[in-house]
Chains A and B, each alone.
Chain A
């Protein structure tokens, strides 16, 4: 926002400059937010197909690329139906609130060293606070629908999000103790120096666990599949959005996918070095006097990788039972998160100047390269495996 603000001439009155700069940022972000889910839904349907040995959408456009566009258009032109006995005002307000809750976090996401709408000094706190607004929207949706299943879904989502917010915040606290700041920009700057300096590899066995806890809790907060009991279609019809149709239904979809992206961006900012490249050389392309920064690309690449992992998990794991869900939150994630907070806090106090354990610099690269090498090996192994299976089927 500062960039746009400085571009406007001095002659323009101050309030107009602030307003225009804000409006420009809002338009850019809303466009991003509205177009992102079209891509995610396409990728998700394709991935779902591939993971089940199918090919997914194929007919609409080349490789089915226009399928989600067609779906979105269909949803927009459908009639919005209000159930009998619904509280119409709340019914309309609820999806708006959910979308707003998902969208507000975009304001502080640092896409680059200067590519950020506002660098709030309480950025992390703001993200956590604002992402909880959508819960209110979900409860409103469930209540206003005048439908038992919708209300069940809403209550479940409230219970779930309240439970999972706590381990998530606890784990965020470890990162905050490491940096000493809540500003997302400061958190990213604290991880300068390539992949071994990312917080994921700080205090080696501790921070990876913190990352896993944050990721799991984030997954639960987006109501994604292993944790999708609020909209469990085989138990609750469709949970809180049972009664929604047309554009309002599309808004819930939009909010879900936006929230996935926001959680992934926050996870990559906290643990995966934000807009820093894994190797400092790749941070920018030098072109004589000026250089093109690749920061936003790196951040988006990391976030999309995490979104991919979320989709991957969705097509891997079955849905949890309600009691299992609560067990995971309160008896597994929360105790570990508390131990982490105490341990990391103690370590930071004990060695205030040192950067983590002595072996921290040496684990980052081997671990990531082993991980990616294994994934690459599985590509070859999968083809061999499928050929062998085909031979066995033929015989």
Chain B
């Protein structure tokens, strides 16, 4: 009879998984539509790095 139990377990766990994916169909999507939307960056973000040649004292 454990065979029937296994079969039932296999079937019911498939249903559990299907329930999860069905729920995710209607969940709010996390995609960021990049060129149109952008993240709010923290105020002190350095963004793209650049160098001001006159101010540079790195290597003389």
Contacts and interface: CB of A to CB of B under 8 A. Distances in A.
Nearest to B14: A317
A284 B26 CA distance: 33
A49 B7 CA distance: 31
B28 A52 contact: no
Contacts of A378: 19, 22-23, 26
Contact of A386 (B11, B28, B31, B33): B28
Contacts of A281: none
Nearest to A381: B23
Interface stretch (A53-61, A189-197, A267-275, A293-301): A53-61
Contacts of B7: 332, 336
Interface in A10-59: 47, 49-55, 58
A51 B25 contact: yes
B18 to A, nearest CB: 5
Interface in B1-54: 7, 10-11, 14, 17-31, 33
Nearest to B7: A332
A316 B17 contact: yes
Given A316-B14, A317-B14, A55 B29 contact: yes
A50 B14 contact: no
Given A313-B18, A316-B18, A379 B33 contact: no
A58 B33 contact: yes
B8 to A, nearest CB: 11
Interface residues of B, number: 20
B26 A316 contact: no
Contacts of A51: 21, 24-25
Interface residues of A, number: 28
A375 B11 CA distance: 18
B36 to A, nearest CB: 10
A81 interface: no
A382 B30 CA distance: 14
Contact of A50 (B17, B18, B29): B29
A292 interface: no
Interface in A316-364: 316-317, 332, 336
B29 A382 contact: no
A386 B11 CA distance: 27
Contacts of A385: 23, 27
Given A55-B29, A312-B18, A386-B26, 10 more contacts: A51-B24, A51-B25, A53-B28, A316-B17, A317-B14, A381-B23, A382-B23, A383-B28, A386-B28, A387-B28
19 contacts: A50-B25, A53-B27, A53-B31, A54-B29, A54-B30, A54-B31, A58-B33, A312-B21, A315-B21, A316-B17, A317-B14, A382-B22, A382-B25, A382-B26, A383-B26, A386-B27, A387-B28, A389-B27, A390-B28
